[in-house]
Every structure is written in structure tokens, then in C-alpha cells.
Amino acid sequence: MKVAMLVNGTWDSEWGKQELGDVEFLVCADGGANLALLSGRLPDVLIGDLDSITPANLVKCIKGGTKIVRYPKEKDQTDLELALDYACFQAPAEFRNGKIWLYGATGGRIDHLLGNIALLLAYARRGWRIILKDPEHVIWIIQKQEIIIGDKGHQISFLSLTEKAVVTTEGFYYPLKFENLFQDSTRGISNIFLGRQGYVRVDEGWVLAVMSNS
């Protein structure tokens, strides 16, 4: 069961139509609903202060049966954080499966991007897997160990989100074996898949993976 969230960032409507085609539960943060409708998808839930969604699209959502959760403009959380909280802890139980695809969370304001990455870490610490995807990248937090599927020659970077992370990798051009990746270093940037998959294990700390789609 694929659960996804869409916010008001980088978006390609044709690419988005494919990405949302198998989504069974879609939560949109404010202007993300504009993007969803461009790709022919009506949100299941619309959350935020609703200052970015167009009046015409808001009417479409209301008439289409979208659940509207409105917040005041002056608030302590971004619309994305409110939407994540809803999807993780308030959505119907069958959709709270521990994994959410996050779209539209790159591009635009750099402070929003940094805040979005901070949210990926916050929810990883609570056991959730939030996968940020745009037409060029897939970004997520590695939790303990995993097999990563990619394409030979594609780039992937591993960045420590904590002061230090201890990382082991196999299947990449630059292998790591219990290596220290530091938060203030570029040591893990621009590794390369040797084949179709690689292995990563994190024994200490939290690591952000940034994989290129091309």
C-alpha cells in the first residue's frame, strides 16, 4: 500500500502522473494540491493554512470529497510538518504502515529544504521511513542496514546527520569499512554504483542517502 505526501515544490506533471498512479492515500500540504490536480489526482486529505492552493482548486477538492484540515496562518509548524503528523498518527490505521513517499519537497526556498531534511531525521528517530523523491533524486535516512537498488554508474552520496556516523558499504566504487563519516566533512559525497545494487550498514549515527536518478 503506497502512501504519499505532496508539498508545493519541484514538480513535473507528467512525471507526477506516473508517480501518483499507484498511490492509495495522498495527503497534500496546501499548494501541493495544485500540483496533484495538475497530474490528475485529487488529494484524499488537504492540510495547511490554505494560502497557496488556488480558490478554484480548493473548490474542486471540497466538491470531490477531499478531507480539509485547516490551520491558522500563524503557527509553529510548517504545512509539511502538520501533514506528516496527520499521515503518521491520525490517518486511518490501514494507511499508517511506517513508510511515506514525499514529493514536491525540493526546489524553491533553501530553508524549507533544510527543514524538510530535518523532518526526515525526526521521523526516522520515531521509526518512520520518509522517502523524498523528485525527478532527479531519491533522498532518505538509512536505518541500520539495507540493500540499495540503483543503476551501474549512477551516483549516490552518504552524509552524516549526526556529529559522527560509522558506515560500511559494498558494491560502490569507494568502499567503506567501519569508516567514520563526520557531519562537517564531504567524505561520503559522490560514490558510484558498480552494478545494480549496493549494501550499506550504519553502526553509529544517522546517515542521509542522496541517490541520483540519472
pLDDT averaged over 10-residue windows placed end to end, the chain, 214 residues: 92 96 96 97 95 95 96 84 91 89 90 92 94 95 95 96 97 96 95 96 97 84
Which pLDDT score is estimated for 83? Answer: 93
Residue 190: domain span: 142-212
Q: SS in 3 state form for 78-137?
A: CHHHHHHHHHHHCCCHHHCCCEEEEECCCCCCHHHHHHHHHHHHHHHCCCCEEEEECCCE
110-114: long-range contacts, CB 8 A cutoff, minimum separation 24: 112/9, 112/78, 112/80
Which pLDDT score is estimated for 21? Answer: 94
Which pLDDT score is estimated for 178? Answer: 95
Which pLDDT score is estimated for 149? Answer: 95
Q: Which domain CATH number covers 146?
A: 2.60.120.320
Same domain, 154 and 181: yes
Which pLDDT score is estimated for 77? Answer: 85
What's this model's pTM, rounded to 2 decimal places?
0.93
Same domain, 120 and 178: no
Which pLDDT score is estimated for 42? Answer: 97
Same domain, 124 and 205: no
Cell 540493500: give the residue.
Answer: 147
Residues 6+ apart with CB under 8 A from 26: 3, 4, 5, 6, 20, 36, 41, 43, 44, 45
Q: Which domain CATH number covers 127?
A: 3.40.50.10240
Domain boundary among 98, 113, 135: 135
Total domains in the chain come to 2
